[in-house]
Amino acid sequence: MRKAMKKLAAISLTAAMAGTMLAGCGNGNSDANSKSTDSKESSGASSESGAASAVDTSEHVDLTMYLIGERTPDFDEVYGKINEILEKKLNCSLNVEFLSWGEHDTKYSLLFSSQENFDLIFTASSWCHYEQTVALGGFAPLSEDFIKTYAPGIWDVVPKVAWDQAKIDGKIYMVPNYANEFGQDVIAVRGDLMKKYGIDKISSWDDLVKFYKACAADGIYAGQGELWFTYFQSKGYSITGGAPQGGELVLYNMQDPNDLEFKYILDWDGFRDYCHQMKELADAGCWSKDILNSTDERQTGLLTGKTATLIWNLGSCMTYAKQANAEHPDWNVTIVDPNASQPKKVNSYINNGVGINANSKHKERAMMVLNEFYTNPEVYDLAMLGIEGKHWEAVGDNQYKVIDESGYGVSKNCNWGWNNAKIQRTEFIENRTPLDDTYDALKEAFNNNIKPEHVYDGFNFDATKVSTQFAAVEAALGNYYSPLKNGLVDDVDKTIEEMKAALESAGIKDVLDEMNRQAAEYVAKKKAN
Amino acid sequence: MKTKKSGFKGFLKKLYMYRAFLLMLAPAVIYTLIFAYYPMTGIVMAFKKYNYAGGIWGSPWNGFENFKFFFLSGQAGLVTRNTVLYNALFIAVNTIAQIAAAILLTEIHNKYFRKITQSLMFLPYFISWVIVGVMAFNIFSSDYGFLNRILTFFGKEKVSFYTTPEVWPFILLFFSVWKGIGYGSVMYLAAIMGIDTSIYEAAKIDGANVFQRIFKVTIPMIMPTTVILLLLSVGGIFKGNFDMFYNLVGGNGLLYNYTDVIDTLTFRALISSNDFGMSAAVGLYQSVLCFVTILLVNKLVGLYDKDYTLF
């Protein structure tokens, strides 16, 4: 977050709202009869497809969708193809605008406050404004009937648990993606250094600490600072959705479904232990003293050889491990799971999704378009992979091979909002390396070791009732939290006490009380169903 | 040719009489109304629980609720103090540095040398704070920083600037002066150019040396300009320079006790919740304090000399 914020300032200076109109000029051929012939054969929703094609699409409409990220060079070409399909099937054209990574934090809310009447927008719980926008009334609520009528395909694919997660105050405001993403990070690590230090595996917290210290003793930075997530995950804990600091301030025991207690980290011995360990690592020189001011991206350290590791999700670790190995074959970068013994948490499905703007003039058509993206394999492949024959080629029915990633890129164009594991192609790899095997083995291990569901997995704290205390807490913790997390304070215990006192007077108790109240209500409702 | 007619007719007549002037004035008046007065109605947002559907006017009232978080955070006193002290320091040092630079520039007689010097001094003004932040990091970082490289070259211990809050007031002051000196000195340069040269000639004939000419002629003559510029900057004394503090300090909590200003605190507190009402409330808090300060200072200046006041 901090790094994204920093970039914000840089990018917002140069970024203009230069919207490129897609070539959706709607050249006639809007005869209302052609559409029913090729409506929904997408994901076997034959019974509902009758209802969908009964929807009146005789009027041509232009829709606008906002995505997050940068427009890739071939984006307009790819979406031109998508528009041809949409034009024919739904008699509409779609114009896509981008909010760049740097500016979305500030511009996202402006889109709503300026009452623009765009139709679709990417959203995500906690990292992409879902809760805040719902709290301010930005999204249109989606009723069950509405979804069934206009997006029967989506209704078939998305499991009930996903819809439940998307519910705020009993109403659904986004279409969640459907993919088993794992919420636990792994570590890409330099194989040559592991060999040098005589460490043959890193599969637990202690292994990791040992490796970090070995790096520091050798005079190379081990990583880019804090290991907070790795630590509390090793203890079986998880962040709580909607809690302060992106959920980090309040944890729950995700491995034990019967444990319904929230752990406020300042009252948890684990946090103290973690901070002491971090101070030891930081003092040993496991990472730079300037880490809090560094604007490096997560992968920079590993790729430039400044650090020995990269902590990220499995997919990103793979991408950069590959890149590092291609540039420095002697590094022998591999991927390890520091919490190998812990069962894995599947990310909530609302970690990616699409919402419909409350001000949209064509909510029905927008939903139908989303249905195409979600369930029409042709549109899905275009949005995820680009143009067949130019960017990728098909291998069988469910695999792809990359031809050229430079113009579009696989899954790089914010197509995550409609991730659909049912029709998503996987990559076909010709010359396998040991890294590929490690990757597949880890993936399999993850999938074979999914943790039992905890009722709080889907819980999302709504802070509107205590917004004053919430903001005060966010303001008060800045002086202590990240220095503590990175082991950069002089006296750990003293700083923890100071932070505790500061948050106390900022009203953390009210926030926790409200949280417990909402959680109890949530659990009761869950049990009743 | 005085018109004794009063009332509406007289007003219309005057309107017609001064039509050319009024027309010339119109763009400025319209500009001020649209960009200074109309947005001020947005102050109501500070007292509302904003939502998208209701917008600025339709959202429900919220009393003083929006102001609470700022004081509840326990940081209000600290950041207000930091903001005022930093601004006072910046104003004082910048003013002196800019006047000094302006005087030195006028004393350079080689035209080309003067132009080049002035351009070079002006250059930093055009560099964005983002770039300055990156430059600062490359100077002060402990791994690859320019200063620490020099220190290690001479066999000295490294200094970790980013974990030593005490040095930051100086660093911030340095960059503030460095960036503002070229632009700020232009005003004083213009004021100095406006001084009647015959006064200098008279002083010269009377035997005044260059220092006497500066302290007895130049500085007293540019005093009115100086006071007006001072008053204008005092008007913003409760507004922290967000770009500067944010880009130089960033998310480094270790430095906050010395570097946190109202604007950066508000940014951190509200960036995740996007609460428009609370941000507006902090803005209003700053504006009211600024308003009171400028009234006071203006009054004080008036006690000294009526001609120097703004209004």
Query: Which string of DSSP letters, residue by residue, matches B71-137?
Result: HHTS-HHHHHHHHHHHHHHHHHHHHHHHHHHHHHHHH---HHHHHHHHHHHHGGGGS-HHHHHHHHH
Give the tokens for residue B275.
């609460």
Query: Tell me, what's the ipTM?
Result: 0.86
Q: Is A489 on the interface with B (CB under 8 A)?
A: yes
φ and ψ of B221, to 5 deg = -70, -30
pLDDT for position A21: 32
Nearby residues of A283 by Cβ (< 8 Å), 6 or more positions away: A487
* Residue-level pLDDT at A8: 40
At residue A345, the 3 state secondary structure works out as coil
Q: What is the mean pLDDT of residues B61-70?
A: 92
Per-residue model confidence (pLDDT) at position A89: 92
Bridge partner residues of A333 (DSSP): A190
d(CA A407, CA A393): 15
Query: A-chain residues within 8 Å CB-CB of B148?
Result: none
- Helix, coil or strand: residue A99: strand
Assess A491–B contact: CB distance below 8 Å, yes or no: no
Q: Please state whether A481 falls in left (phi above 0), alpha (psi between -120 and 50) or beta.
A: alpha
Place of tokens 């923890």: A496
Strand, helix or coil at A335? strand
**pLDDT score recorded for residue A358:** 94
Substitution target in A283, A468, A505 with the highest count of B β-carbons within 10 Å is A468
Instruction: Report the alpha-carbon distance of residue A277 to residue A293 in Å, rounded.
Output: 21
The CA angle A519-A520-A526, to the nearest 5 degrees, is 85
pLDDT, one tens digit per residue, over B124-162 is 999 999 999 999 999 999 888 999 999 999 998 889 999
**Alpha helices, H only, A351-466:** 363-375, 377-385, 434-447
Is residue B212 scored above 70 in pLDDT? yes
Chain B residues closer than 8 Å to A292 by CB = 162, 250-254
Q: Which residue carries 């079986």 as its tokens?
A: A236
Q: Say yes or no for a CB contact (<8 Å) between B250 and A6.
A: yes
Range 216-255 of A in CB contact (< 8 A) with B? 246
Against a cut of 0.90, is the pTM above it? no
Q: What's the rounded Cα separation, in Å, for the pair B126 and B183?
A: 9
Interface contact flag, B265 A478, Cβ < 8 Å: yes
Check A288 against B246: CB less than 8 A apart: no
Find the helix or strand (DSSP H, E) in which A380 lies. Answer: helix A377-385
List, for residues B27-48, the tens digit of each pLDDT value: 999 999 999 999 888 899 999 9
- Phi, psi dihedrals of residue B157, rounded to the nearest 5°: -70, 145
- Residue A370 has which token pair? 């989303």
Nearest-CA distance from A504 to chain B in Å?
Answer: 10
Q: Report the candidate in B148, B122, B309 with the shortest Cα–Cα distance to residue B234.
A: B309
Strand order in the sheet with A309-312: A309-312, A186-190, A333-336
In eight-state DSSP terms, residue B162 is: G
pLDDT at B54: 85
Of residues B74, B143, B270, nearest to A505 (C-beta): B74
Q: Mean pLDDT, chain B, as a whole number?
A: 91
pLDDT per position as a tens digit, B261-299: 999 999 998 887 778 899 999 999 999 999 999 999 999
Question: Which domains are delineated in chain B?
Answer: 69-308 (1.10.3720.10)
Closest CA to B169 of B267, B244, B73, B269: B244
Whole-number Å distance between alpha carbons of B53 and A134: 11
Backbone angles phi, psi at A39, to 5 degrees: -70, -110
pLDDT in tens, A93-113: 999 999 998 888 889 999 998
Question: Is B302 exposed, middle or buried, given 0-12, 13-18 or 19+ CB atoms closer than 10 A?
Answer: middle
Q: Which of A54-84 are b and which e, b meaning 16 or more Cβ less than 10 Å from the residue's Cβ? A: ebebeebbbbbbbbbbbbbebbebbbbbbbe
Q: How far is CA A52 from the centre of its chain?
A: 31
* Two structure tokens written together for A449: 């070791």
Rounded to the nearest angstrom, the minimum Cα separation between A128 and chain B is: 10
Arch. (CATH architecture) of A2-11+44-181+349-381:
3-Layer(aba) Sandwich (3.40)
B-chain residue closest to A220, CA distance:
B143
- For the beta carbon of residue A198, count every other beta carbon within 10 angstroms: 7
- Rg of chain B taking only CA atoms, in angstroms: 25
**Residues of chain A with confidence (pLDDT) below 70:** 1-54, 529
User: Are the C-beta atoms of A94 and A3 separated by less than 8 Å?
Assistant: no
d(CA A200, CA A207): 10
